[in-house]
Amino acid sequence: MRLRLEAVGGKPPRAERQERSRWCARASARARAGPRRQQPGERSEDIVIRRRTGVRALRAIGWRAQAAVIVLALGIGAVGATTWLSSHQVGKATAPMPVVTTKPDGRLYRPKDAEWSALAVRPVVEHAFSPDYATEGKILVNEDRSTPIFSPYAGRVTRLFAKAGDAIQPGQPLFVVEATDMVSAQNDFIAAATGMNKARSALELAQITEKRSRDLYDAKAAPLKDLQQAQAMLIAAQNDMRSADTALEAARNRLRILGRSDDDIRTFQGSGRINPDTPVSAPLGGTVVARKVGPGQYVSAGAGDPVFVVGDLSTVWLTAYVRETDIGKVRLGQEVAFTVLAYPDRVFRSTVDYVAAAVDPVSRRLMVRATVDNGDGLLKPEMFANVTLRLRPEVVAAAVPKEALIYEGSAVHAWVARHDGAIELRPVRTGLSDGRLVEVTDGLRAGEQIVVRGSLFIDRLASGS
């Protein structure tokens, strides 16, 4: 350590020595030259003052030198004390460390009694691990048992008989539309019925005419041409009757398509009163999944959006999505387990019954589907689900708690307790994990004792850190 000491007067010791040397040289020169003579115009008092000033300066330089020596001595003493303390502290810090014995296959450490009390040792157990694949999914309506309902004609909705969530039966009316198509169909039916009546009357007249002409011809009271003309009129009337009957049946079928029953048609045929209100009925029983129409709303025939969606929710679809890199792990018949946010403690199960033929071009994922029994009605369409696919049967293997493993980069180790009172750091190879236990595929056997608490502490002691 280098110490830089300054004199009391503010100058470094070297500068003072130089100044003192120069002053002494000048004093010696004046002594050799003898007493200084008084110059013209100079007073004798000035000479005395200069001599006294020189003496004071010499004394000041002497005091400064003494102060510098004292400060230097104090600095040397401080350095010595610091060195002595450092040597004693180093001696204390280099106390003997626990002995660590290194072996080719790991490290050994012999814990003291106080250290054993801070450790927890457990045996390696056998545990069944399930190779699973976790992904996300969604609950959908079973399209094999549901149908969208469209309005078969255009018009204004006048009445609604069902809402979302209602249970309905096959043929139950859902809503009524004031349809212009119904008015046109009813007009056509009335026209066909009128034509039918006219054809029937013409046929009856032709039959009477043909009978009278035949009687006159048999009595030789009418020529043959009159009989033949009457027979031709009868045949024409019969053809007209068949045409009218066909037209009436076509008009009746159109009314049936528009939702009119045979009783309604007979009533309408008898009264002839046109009613534009047209009911739309459910083609199958189930639950109203969605209703997308309101009273007074105008609907059009051939619209792309259905008015109602009716489905049987006793079974629903679970759709899950698999990453493109994991498609090779999925196949038909695999077990599926999933949970939904509404019932996090309940696990629903099914099997994969459909795997999509193509990957979604946007998400780059493959859809898989399972049909799930929903007899209790807990699962609702559009629910999100956490899905787990069982890739292969369970595997029984050695397992240790995850707290017992020490990870150093890609290497994994565990401390194994031996019968001689030492513990050995052994490399292991891990596999599956269920969140609590970790599968050990190599390095440990079931029944061996391992450190499950305090392993990091022992690892630091053994490494000397």
How many Cα atoms are found within 13 Å in the side-chain-facing hemisphere of 145? 16
Write down the pLDDT at residue 15. Answer: 63
| Together in a domain, 380 and 403 | no
Mean pLDDT confidence for 266-272: 78
pLDDT in tens, 45-82: 444 445 444 444 445 445 454 555 455 555 555 445 44
| Together in a domain, 29 and 79 | yes
Write down the pLDDT at residue 151. Answer: 86
Write down the pLDDT at residue 321. Answer: 92
Tokens describing residue 94: 């280099």
| Together in a domain, 380 and 401 | no
Q: What is the CATH number of the domain that holds 450?
A: 2.40.420.20
The domain in which residue 340 lies consists of: 135-143+310-390
Give residue 212's identity as a one-letter amino acid code: R
**pLDDT surpassing 80 at residue 273:** no
User: pLDDT band for position 465 (50/70/90)?
Assistant: low
Number of domains in the chain: 4
Task: Kindly state whether residue 28 falls inside one of the protein's structural domains.
Answer: yes
Q: What is the CATH number of the domain that holds 139?
A: 2.40.30.170
Q: CA nearest 209: which of 185, 190, 232, 178?
A: 232
Q: What is the CATH number of the domain that holds 272?
A: 1.10.287
Write down the pLDDT at residue 365. Answer: 92
Task: Kindly state whether residue 240 falls inside one of the protein's structural domains.
Answer: yes
| Together in a domain, 352 and 453 | no
Task: Kindly state whether residue 57 falls inside one of the protein's structural domains.
Answer: yes
Q: Measured between alpha carbons, how far is residue 26 from residues 15, 19, 32, 53, 83 in Å? A: 17, 11, 10, 14, 45
| Together in a domain, 176 and 230 | yes
Lowest mean pLDDT among 9-18, 151-160, 210-219, 448-457: 9-18
Task: Kindly state whether residue 3 falls inside one of the protein's structural domains.
Answer: no
Domain end position, chosen among 299, 329, 345 = 299
Task: Kindly state whether residue 341 falls inside one of the protein's structural domains.
Answer: yes
| Together in a domain, 295 and 167 | yes
pTM here? 0.51
pLDDT in tens, 205-245: 999 988 988 888 888 888 888 888 888 998 998 998 999 88
Distance from first CA to last CA of the chain, Å, rounded? 32
User: pLDDT band for position 40 (50/70/90)?
Assistant: low
Give residue 213's identity as a one-letter amino acid code: S
| Together in a domain, 39 and 164 | no
More confident call, 71 vs 397: 397
**pLDDT surpassing 90 at residue 387:** yes
| Together in a domain, 183 and 294 | yes
Residue located via tokens 């350590």: 1
Domain end position, chosen among 346, 373, 390 = 390
Task: Kindly state whether residue 323 falls inside one of the protein's structural domains.
Answer: yes
Task: Kindly state whether residue 344 falls inside one of the protein's structural domains.
Answer: yes
Dihedral pair phi/psi, residue 237, rounded to 5°: -65, -35
pLDDT in tens, 134-180: 899 999 999 888 888 888 888 889 999 998 888 889 888 899 888 87
Tokens describing residue 12: 């470094």
Task: State the burial class of residue 337 (Cβ atoms within 10 Å of its Cβ: 0-12, 13-18, 19+).
Answer: middle
What is the Cα Rg of the chain in Å? 57
User: pLDDT band for position 373 (50/70/90)?
Assistant: very high
Task: Kindly state whether residue 200 falls inside one of the protein's structural domains.
Answer: yes
| Together in a domain, 404 and 383 | no
Rounded to whole angstroms, the Cα distance separating 63 from 60 reads 5
Q: CA nearest 125: which of 451, 449, 462, 463?
A: 449
| Together in a domain, 276 and 332 | no
| Together in a domain, 432 and 457 | yes
| Together in a domain, 184 and 291 | yes
